[in-house]
Structures are given as structure tokens and as C-alpha cells.
């Protein structure tokens, strides 16, 4: 892949009235735009099971959003916001289950008011939690109560709604900004394509014999960053943590049509392919996937890639792979794993819109124009689409 990818070509007029400020109720009553073989039709999300081929295999992201926003006061009563991004030199599970101390990379609101040497303190139900900056934008938490850090977060933190949702997170958001199958805590943004699924829809899918598989990608705040450079290839893609179990890797070899629920699941599955290629080529850190990992690489089949990963699991007596991905999927990319995509409507000039363009080509313009003209709601709490090129 060569040549510039001009971000101005991935712009459209998204007015504020098109951005959903609350989610549809019930979840599966949202609108669903079906794009299949170049044709567009309007559906309701509850009809998804009948629109999927019996030969489909769905891949969901089961990441769970943590209450990552913490507000506290400094010694002069100025408000400081600490926004958790990801654990610093620790695994998610280790950091969230820590009982006395953990360290996180953070965004800090009103940072100038927090002197580097000052220890901030917040008390909840008799537990005092101390926060100290040990590096720039790196915060150490210390407490003594026997509670796990994730339990403390439930008491002191607020849900991190996207910046384009204008209201403060409330009790309704606490449930609605999670998928019904969310399980693995650690995300600071929801895998929003999954917000439309209800237990009823999942049961109907299961009745058709469609496989339901789960991967994990901890969505980072970087997912909301617009591309601000003229050539999108010069954008510094954010890094996110992913994991995939053996059973989900084996299911890829079943020969079914893999439909990813969301761009996050898509990034995991395509990253997994390149992890297999890295293993075949004996690369160092094979599960660390770089931004343009796919450029100037030898080709191999999907089966060869997955077999390489399964061999790695066998040789190391483990049942899951863990890695970091910064993969940036742009027009010209050839998808190796994903054949169908369930996804919401994304921001102009975003890496997510670039991925959609890579998946359905310039037809994204027709799809988005149709959505804008036919009352679809956009972004995290908005409506959905099923893309089957």
C-alpha cells in the first residue's frame, strides 16, 4: 500500500441533532441499515437474526467499561479529574484486583493545580485512597481496606461517556453503556456496536445455529481522537490491549462467514492474523501488532496463520494469547478474517470511518448519505448497520 490517504476525503456534515444523546429502548428497537452486495435497505435491529446467514460465526468484544473518571480536590479545594487510561507496567487483571496499590497511565484535568509533590486524598466509606504522581501522567493509588481496586472504582468513579454525549453519566447510563454480555473489566469506552443486542436477539441467533464467539479488546480513549493530519498515514494510532482464547482461534478455522460485532472485534481478528504471520516469520514480540504491520509482508493463508498461533499455545501450555495492537486499517487494506461487520455510524475524519471505507470502499459515502437522509442516529448511542460486501 502506497500513496497518501487524504483525510479530507473522509469528511461529511454531521450536525449535532444527528448525534444520539441517549440510547434506544428497548436496545433492539434501534434502526438497522442493511448494506448487502451494494444494496441498501432499512430494518430494525431485532430482525438481525433473519438477516444473518446460517453459515455465520459472530465475534463479540466482551470488554466491560470501568468507572474511569475520578474527581477530587487539592489542598486549595480546586477540582482535579483523574481519567484512568490503562494500567502502567501492570496487566489489567493485576491492576483491577490489586488490594493495596496500583499504578495507571491517566489523563489529568486541571493538571496545573496538582503540584507534582502533592498527595491527593479521597475517602469513601472509611477507606482513604491516596493519589501521587510518580511520572508525568502516571498516577499511583494507595489504600488499606482489603477491597480490590475495581471495587473502590465502583464507589468513587464515574462512567466515562464519550465527549459528544453532553449529559453527565447517570444511573441509566451505568447499565445502558454496557453490552448485555460485557464481562472483562478494563475498557474506558464501550464497544458500542454491541449495545443493540438483547438476550432475545442472542437466543434467536443461537436457534439458527450461528456461533457466538467472544474476544476482548480494552477500548481506549484514543478511539475518539480525530485524525488531524492531512495524510491519515501520518496519524499516530492508539494502542489497545487484546486477548483471545484457544476456542475462538479454533473457531476461525471452521470455514464459516465471520461477522465482527464492531470495529474493536474487527481490529482484534485482523491483528490476530498478523500475529500468526509474525510467528511464522519468527518476529520478536509476535503479539505486539504495529500500526502498518501488513505492509511489505509475505502472504500466508488464514489457516497457516491460525495454526501457527495454536502451535504457539501448545508449545507454551497456555490457552489464550495476550497482546497489544496499534493496527490502523485504511483504504487498500485486504481483510483476511472478517467478512461481515455490525457497526454504528462513526465520526467524520476518524480512524473508524477509515476502517469502514477499507471494508466497503467508496460505498461508505452512499451508506452514510442514506443514514443522514433517513433519520438514523449517529455515534455511540446511535443506530446500527450490517455491512455485507
Answer yes or no: is 229 within a domain. Answer: yes
Show which of 100, 123, 158 is a domain's final residue. 158
Judge whether 278 lies within some domain. yes
Q: Is 278 helix (H, G, I), strand (E, B) or coil?
A: helix
Asked if residue 170 belongs to a domain, the reply is no
Quick check: is 173 in a domain?
no
* Same domain (yes/no): 252, 344: yes
Instruction: Note whether residue 20 is domain-resident.
Output: yes
CA 316 – CA 356 distance, rounded (Å): 36
Average pLDDT rounded to a whole number, residues 178-195: 96
Q: Are residues 244 and 360 in the same domain?
A: yes
CA distance 365 to 40: 12
pTM for the whole structure: 0.95
Q: Is residue 172 situated within a structural domain?
A: no
Q: Which of 158, 191, 210 is the last residue of a domain?
A: 158
Average pLDDT over residues 332-345: 98
* 355: alpha, beta or left? (left if phi > 0; alpha if psi -120 to 50): alpha
CATH code: domain of residue 289:
3.40.1780.10
Query: Residues 112, 237: one domain?
Result: no
- Verify that 38 and 151 share a domain, yes or no: no
User: By percentage, how much of the chain surpasses pLDDT 90?
Assistant: 94
Residues 43 and 79 occupy one common structural domain: no
What pLDDT sits at residue 221?
A: 84
Residue 250 shares a structural domain with residue 310: yes
Is the confidence at residue 59, as pLDDT, over 70?
A: yes
In a domain, 233, yes or no: yes
At residue 1, the pLDDT reads: 61
Domain end point (choices 129, 158, 187): 158
- Which residues share a beta bridge with 6? 231
Dump pLDDT digits (tens) for 204-237.
999 999 999 999 999 988 888 889 999 999 999 9
Residues 57 and 114 in one domain: no
| Strand residue runs (E) in the chain | 31-36, 39-44, 56-61, 63-65, 69-73, 79-87, 101-109, 120-124, 127-135, 138-143, 157-158, 184-187, 211-218, 240-245, 257-261, 288-289, 320-325, 340-344, 384-388
> Residue 203: what pLDDT?
98
Do 373 and 224 fall into the same domain?
Answer: yes
**What pLDDT digit, counting tens, does each position of 275-311 carry?**
999 999 999 999 999 999 999 898 899 999 999 999 9
φ/ψ of 27, rounded to 5, equals: -55, -45
For the chain, how many structural domains are there in total? 2
Q: Do 226 and 333 fall within a single domain?
A: yes
Query: Helices in 246-362 by DSSP H: which ranges?
Result: 246-252, 263-280, 302-315, 351-360
Given a contact cutoff of 8 angstroms between Cβ atoms, the answer to whether 30 and 44 are in contact is yes
At residue 2, does pLDDT exceed 80?
Answer: no
Same domain, 218 and 318: yes
- Express each pLDDT in 104-128 by its tens digit: 999 999 999 999 999 999 998 889 9
Quick one: cell of 102?
Answer: 496500583
* Boundaries of domain holding 204: 7-65+179-388
pLDDT at 267: 98
Q: What is the pLDDT of residue 225?
A: 84
With b for 16 or more beta-carbon neighbours within 10 A and e for fewer, the 76-92 pattern comes to eeeebebbbbbbbeeeb
Kindly state the average pLDDT of the residues 9-37.
97
Strand partners, 215: 61
The pLDDT score that the predictor gives to residue 146 is 86
Cα separation of 292 and 327, whole Å? 6
Establish if 167 belongs to a structural domain: no
Whole-number pLDDT of residue 355: 98
Residues 244 and 379 in one domain: yes
Query: What is the pLDDT, as a whole number, of residue 145?
Result: 87
Q: Contact, 65 vs 177, CB < 8 A? A: yes
pLDDT above 70: percentage of residues in the chain: 99
Average pLDDT of the residues in 244-270: 97
Do 269 and 367 fall into the same domain?
Answer: yes
| Number of Cβ within a 10 Å radius of residue 283 | 15
Amino acid at each position: 500500500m502506497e500513496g497518501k490517504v487524504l483525510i479530507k476525503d473522509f469528511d461529511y456534515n454531521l450536525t449535532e441533532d444527528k448525534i444520539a444523546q441517549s440510547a434506544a429502548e428497548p436496545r433492539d428497537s434501534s434502526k438497522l441499515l442493511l448494506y448487502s452486495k451494494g444494496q441498501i435497505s432499512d430494518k430494525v435491529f431485532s430482525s438481525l437474526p433473519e438477516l444473518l446467514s446460517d453459515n455465520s460465526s459472530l465475534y463479540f468484544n466482551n470488554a466491560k467499561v470501568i468507572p474511569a473518571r475520578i474527581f477530587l480536590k487539592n489542598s486549595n479545594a480546586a477540582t482535579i479529574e483523574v481519567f484512568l487510561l490503562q494500567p502502567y507496567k501492570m496487566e489489567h487483571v493485576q491492576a483491577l484486583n490489586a488490594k493495596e496499590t496500583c499504578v495507571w497511565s491517566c489523563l489529568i484535568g486541571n493538571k496545573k493545580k496538582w503540584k507534582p509533590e502533592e498527595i491527593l486524598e479521597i475517602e469513601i466509606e472509611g477507606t482513604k485512597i491516596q493519589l501521587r504522581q510518580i511520572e508525568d501522567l502516571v498516577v499511583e493509588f494507595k489504600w488499606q481496606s482489603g477491597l480490590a481496586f475495581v471495587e473502590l472504582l465502583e464507589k468513587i468513579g464515574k462512567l466515562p461517556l464519550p465527549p459528544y454525549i453532553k449529559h453527565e453519566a447517570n444511573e441509566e447510563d451505568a447499565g445502558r453503556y454496557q453490552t448485555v454480555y460485557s464481562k472483562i473489566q478494563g475498557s474506558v469506552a464501550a464497544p458500542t456496536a454491541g449495545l443493540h443486542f438483547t438476550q432475545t436477539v442472542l437466543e434467536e441467533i443461537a436457534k439458527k445455529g450461528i456461533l457466538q464467539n467472544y474476544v476482548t479488546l480494552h477500548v481506549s480513549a484514543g478511539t475518539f481522537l480525530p485524525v488531524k493530519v492531512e495524510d491519515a498515514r501520518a496519524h499516530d494510532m492508539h494502542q489497545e490491549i487484546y486477548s483471545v482464547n484457544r476456542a475462538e482461534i479454533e473457531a476461525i478455522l471452521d470455514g464459516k462467514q465471520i461477522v465482527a460485532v464492531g470495529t474493536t472485534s474487527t481490529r482484534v481478528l485482523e491483528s490476530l492474523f498478523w500475529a500468526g504471520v509474525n510467528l511464522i516469520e519468527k518476529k520478536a514480540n509476535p503479539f505486539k501488532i504495529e500500526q502498518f504491520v501488513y505492509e511489505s509482508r509475505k502472504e500466508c493463508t488464514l489457516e497457516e496463520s491460525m495454526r501457527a498461533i495454536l502451535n504457539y499455545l501448545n508449545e507454551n501450555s497456555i490457552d489464550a494469547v495476550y497482546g497489544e495492537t496499534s493496527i490502523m486499517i485504511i483504504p487498500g487494506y485486504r481483510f483476511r478474517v472478517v467478512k461481515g461487520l455490525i457497526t454504528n455510524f462513526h465520526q467524520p475524519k476518524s480512524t473508524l470511518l477509515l476502517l469502514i471505507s477499507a471494508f466497503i470502499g467508496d460505498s461508505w459515502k452512499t451508506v452514510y448519505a442514506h443514514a443522514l437522509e433517513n433519520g438514523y442516529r449517529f455515534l455511540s448511542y446511535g443506530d446500527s448497520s450490517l455491512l455485507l460486501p
